[in-house]
């Protein structure tokens, strides 16, 4: 398959203190000079595969079709595969640790999956610690520029040969919904894996007063439509930009006020529902 130069959407956990992001940009500019590079984000907590997978899943529907380059790779230098996947949306390049799978599923699944093994599709290096530069960036650039097809990069893989990332689903019990805090953004807002449909299934609707349980703490909190629906310093639950229920504090940080962090269990119920202690 050949095409005009495709945009490359780049997500990593490299941060901006070192030269790593700039070096990957340099490789992409050399090998795919006609491609625009979009920095989706580089502040993913180091090695947090799930956080990166969720970030790309939230972003993918707003990114131009092209190549998604995701480099969050705590297993770099190990036996884990390097993947290139083709979907209807375009191409995905990254390590085989599940970081690509939720976003790929979001756009309809992979049509072709290969293990990047062609030595001509990588930059020779004496070390094995910077595959973002040496392996993933060249593969992404070759796909974006049309200089290589996905099957030129290496042998094709079957579904059972690629590591998935299983995301927990919320559970409904006794007219309450228990889920998990998935993500804390830079403003201290806490996204959960609970959707408005999950709350509707237990008879809850926007405008209702809810009970939020976090560990042994119980809070009374409104289901609001925007931050302005509550007073400064007051908490609220709302549908966030990704369509999931988020916990926030107006002019404050919900993670600090309510002692929330990624991975913590949260339960939402009507104020008349008694939680088992």
Angle, alpha carbons 184-188-193 (nearest 5°): 35
Which residues of the chain form CATH 3.40.50.10790?
8-161
Which residues of the chain form CATH 2.40.30.90?
171-270
CATH architecture of 171-270: Beta Barrel (2.40)
Tokens of 20: 């790593």
List pLDDT tens digits, range 192-223. Answer: 999 999 999 999 999 999 999 999 999 999 99
Cβ proximity of 240 and 190 under 8 Å = no
Confidence category of residue 272, pLDDT binned at 50, 70, 90: low
d(CA 193, CA 79): 32
In the DSSP assignment, the letter for residue 128 is S
List pLDDT tens digits, range 16-55. Answer: 999 999 999 999 999 999 999 999 999 999 999 999 999 9
pLDDT, position 1 = 38
For residue 275, pLDDT over 50 is answered with no
- Give the pTM: 0.89
Report CA 219 to chain centroid distance, whole Å. Answer: 29
CATH architecture of 8-161: 3-Layer(aba) Sandwich (3.40)
Please give, one letter per residue, the 3-state secondary structure of 15-74: CCCCCHHHHHHHHHHHHCCCCCEEEEECCCCCCCHHHHHHHHHHHHHHCCCCEEEEECCC
């Amino acid at each position: 398959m050949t095409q005009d130069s495709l945009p490359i959407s780049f997500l990593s956990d490299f941060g901006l203190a070192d030269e790593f992001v700039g070096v990957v940009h340099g490789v992409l500019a050399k090998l795919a000079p006609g491609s625009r590079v979009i920095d989706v984000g580089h502040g993913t907590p180091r090695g947090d595969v799930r956080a990166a997978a969720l970030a790309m899943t939230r972003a993918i529907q707003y990114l131009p079709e092209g190549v998604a380059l995701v480099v969050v790779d705590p297993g770099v230098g190990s036996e884990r595969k390097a993947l290139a996947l083709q979907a209807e949306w375009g191409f995905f390049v990254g390590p085989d640790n599940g970081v690509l799978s939720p976003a790929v599923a979001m756009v309809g699944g992979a049509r072709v999956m290969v293990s990047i093994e062609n030595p001509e599709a990588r930059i020779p290096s004496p070390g094995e610690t910077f595959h973002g530069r040496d392996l993933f960036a060249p593969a992404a650039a070759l796909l974006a520029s049309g200089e290589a097809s996905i099957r030129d990069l290496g042998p094709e893989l079957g579904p059972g040969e690629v590591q998935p990332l299983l995301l927990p689903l919320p559970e409904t019990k006794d007219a309450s919904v228990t889920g998990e805090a998935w993500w804390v953004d830079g403003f201290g807002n806490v996204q959960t894996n609970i959707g408005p449909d999950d709350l509707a299934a237990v008879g809850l609707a926007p405008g209702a007063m809810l009970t939020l349980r976090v560990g042994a703490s119980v809070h009374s909190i409104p289901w609001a439509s925007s931050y302005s629906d509550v007073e400064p310093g007051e908490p609220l639950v709302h549908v966030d930009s990704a369509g999931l229920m988020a916990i926030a504090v107006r002019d404050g940080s919900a993670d600090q006020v309510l002692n929330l962090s990624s991975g913590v269990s949260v339960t939402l119920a009507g104020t008349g529902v008694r939680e088992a202690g």
